[in-house]
Chain A
Amino acid sequence: MHKVKSSSKYIDKAKAASAKPALLGEDLDLESYVSSAEEQPYRDDPLQLPVETKEQMMEVGVTLDNMNQRSGTFLQVDNAPIHFSRRQEGLEVMSTSEALEKYQWLVDYYWRAVPVDSDKYTAHVELNQSDGYFIRALPGIKTTYPVQACLYLAKANLAQNVHNIIIAEEGSELHIITGCTTGLREEPGLHIGITEFYIKKGAKITFTMIHRWTPKVAVRPRTGAIVEENGLFMNNYVILKSVRSLQMYPTAWCMGENSTARYNTILIATSGSTIDVGSRVFLRARESKTEIIARAITSGGTITSRGYIEGNCPEVKGHLECRGLILAGEGIIHAIPELRGTVAGVNLSHEAAIGKIAEEEVEYLMSRGLTRAEATATIVRGFLRVDIEGLPSMLSAEIERAVQASEKELM
């Protein structure tokens, strides 16, 4: 097991921010969680994991029975990486601790896309020397199959701290599916995940994240992406099932000319869930562009669906779309789309809508022979369907499967 070696400059900043509440979301008491968990044995063959664990991983798109459908695999249970492997040359998949040991230069990427002193959660991750995954595609390498990563929370009352770094070197193409899930049922837990993306010139990353939590788990991901010239970052997010409190506001900086960031977010809140999720993009170079699409649906939970696009350079283009559907009487959706332009020549737009299922649409489908329940489910499925251009069909299928699984809970 490697130890995470960080620089003292980060530790000092983290200490200073260790009590700093996040700007958004419920202020969680970190003292109420334990920071250390039992050591987990490294597993050369992850197939030996318990059947139930494997099934839970499968629900979030992480398949261990069919690893030849994946270019690489990383598994972490609580705070310990338990398996990492890769099946394609030119691709690196390992723990962050091992990568920091292997590459002196990696420290330069550390906390660059997510400031260490953002809030007490980022500080907590730094101060607890947290491990996570390091995934890197060497220049020009294109993954044939997606790389999969699973962050699994097993221990009750634990604060799971994760720090991931993903680098797509120049001209490379990397598809990643990350599933975050838990074996906890009624017990509390906390997942804090830092993920930093670096998309070099002409590189492409598609990152598909599926979350499946339980009613007493709180979740605080902190994500940043830096996109260079002609680079593309595509982030797809789906949350299934209940969560106590989820707050995140992943941010991309389009720093290179003609760079692109795209976010597709599907939020599903059942009763008792509080979800505050946004996507934020800074367009800082000519002809950089973004599209942010969110679908929020509640059957009793509370969703704040945010979006923020800032254009700091002429000839940038951004569009933000947020649509919400309230299925049951007590659900709340608060859509907050924001645009900010700081120079002439930016082209930014947004649209937001919150509604209910239109009776006219239900009856139209019923006139074709569907029952009311079937017609409603068809409309909900359609609402949640986001056609994601450029995403490998295997990953589109995983998103589709995840959405269908959550529909059952919703209806």
Chain B
Amino acid sequence: MLEIEELTVAIEGKEILHDVNMTIKKGETRVLFGPNGSGKTTLLMAIMGFPRYQVSKGKIVFKEKDITKLPLDERARLGIGMAFQRPPVVRGVKARDIVAVCLKERKDGETIRQLAGKADLVEFLDRDINYGFSGGEIKRSEIMQLLAQKPELTLLDEPESGVDLVNIALIGRLINELLEKDCPIHRRKCMGLIISHTGGILDYVNARTGYVMLDGRIICEGDPHEILKTIKERGYKGCSICIK
């Protein structure tokens, strides 16, 4: 389980998130909506533990352990994984190398090839990671790495942005595998938090709860399809009017 209590996060002294509360139970997938600059990515980065994102108040509890001060790499090893929206290019480090890192002791050529096959990235394994990758290739590569990493908490930052229709169906399938959607909810170990700007991913991935974030605060929680419908009809302005 992930429990976030009154989380307040600043970047270089500027407070971005204010008193965020959120709980995700085993097997659940939750979607976070919000306009650009509302703080969605900041929340994911703070959960993952990037040092630039300073927690000034509140706490993050994962698997009953307070991880608020735990370093980034220890959180990854504890079972948190993140698919980045714009990951950096690391020259000379091949996609194959990173998948091997994620697989740890399970790494072998055949497993790596199978994972790449699933993500339609076999030909990319010997390329420098993210170098010259298209939008869709980056998304698939990020999720391929998470499939290797097998995190218990998956953080996905706009998995559908910049992706064409063919790719989005494949990405949806990969996310469903990652979040064990084939299993009944009570048997799943994995949980997911997905940032979505447009809500397009909901056509492919089922989520139980949606949140709306505005100006660093979660202002609404409810059925994600209903939330999305409201946003489509009235925009995020409608959300701010609604809560008044």
Tell me whether A367 and B93 are in contact in the complex, defined as CB-CB below 8 angstroms, given that A358-B88, A372-B73, A382-B128 are known contacts.
no
Q: In the complex, which residues 356-373 of chain A have their Cβ closer than 8 Å to any Cβ of chain B?
A: 358, 360-361, 363-372
Residues of chain B contacted by A372 (CB below 8 angstroms):
73
Chain A residues, Cβ within 8 Å of B87: 364
Contact assessment for B101 and A368 in the assembled complex, using a CB-CB cutoff below 8 Å: yes
Report yes or no: B72 in contact with A366, Cβ–Cβ below 8 A. Answer: yes
Tell me, in angstroms, the Cα distance from A358 to B71 when the chains sit together: 18
Counting CB contacts under 8 A, is A352 at the interface? no
Residue of A with least CB distance to B86: A360
User: Of the candidates B71, B82, B91, B102, which one forms a contact with A383 in the assembled complex, judged by CB atoms under 8 Å apart?
Assistant: B91
Q: Which chain A residues border B54 with CB–CB below 8 Å?
A: none
Q: How many whole Å from B149's CB to the nearest CB in chain A?
A: 6
In the assembled complex, A3 has its CB within 8 A of some CB on chain B: no
Q: Does A381 contact B (CB under 8 A)?
A: yes
Q: Are A378 and B88 in contact (CB under 8 A)?
A: no
- Closest A residue to B99 by beta carbon equals A368
Instruction: Type the 1/0 row for B109-150, where 1 means its CB is closer than 8 Å to any CB of A.
Output: 000000000000000000010000000000000000100010
A378-B97, A382-B93 given; A366·B88 CB < 8 A: no
Binary interface encoding of chain A residues 374-405 relative to chain B, with 1 for a CB under 8 A from any of its CBs, else 0: 01001101111100000000000000000000
Please count how many residues in chain A sit with their CB below 8 Å of the partner chain's CB atoms.
Answer: 21
Does A363 contact B50, Cβ atoms closer than 8 Å?
Answer: yes
* Most B-side CB within 10 Å, residue of A361, A369, A378, A379: A369
| Contact residues in B for A366 (Cβ distance below 8 Å) | 71-73, 76
Whether the Cβ atoms of A382 and B104 lie closer than 8 Å is no
Known: A360-B88, A371-B73, A379-B93. 19 other contacts (CB 8 A): A363-B50, A364-B90, A365-B90, A365-B101, A367-B76, A367-B84, A368-B98, A368-B149, A369-B101, A369-B149, A372-B73, A375-B73, A378-B93, A379-B90, A379-B92, A381-B92, A382-B93, A383-B92, A385-B92
In the assembled complex, B229 has its CB within 8 A of some CB on chain A: no
Residues in B166-209 with C-beta less than 8 Å from chain A: none
Cβ of B222 within 8 Å of any chain A Cβ, yes or no, is no
B72 — which chain A residues lie within 8 A by C-beta? 363, 366-367
Residues of A within 8 A of B (CB): 358, 360-361, 363-372, 375, 378-379, 381-385
Residues of A contacting B51 in the complex (Cβ-Cβ under 8 angstroms): 363
Q: Does B153 contact A (CB under 8 A)?
A: no
Residue B77 at the A interface, CB < 8 A? yes
Q: Given A378-B93, A379-B93, A382-B128, decide whether A367 and B48 contact each other with a Cβ distance below 8 A.
A: yes
Contacts of A385 in B (CB 8 A): 92
- List residues of chain B with CB within 8 A of the CB of A361: 88, 90
Enumerate chain A residues within 8 angstroms of B98, measured Cβ to Cβ.
365, 368
Are the C-beta atoms of B91 and A369 separated by less than 8 Å?
Answer: no
Instruction: State in angstroms the CA–CA spacing of A381 and B94 once bound together.
Output: 11
> For A368, what are the chain B residues with a Cβ–Cβ distance below 8 Å?
76, 81, 98, 101-102, 145, 149
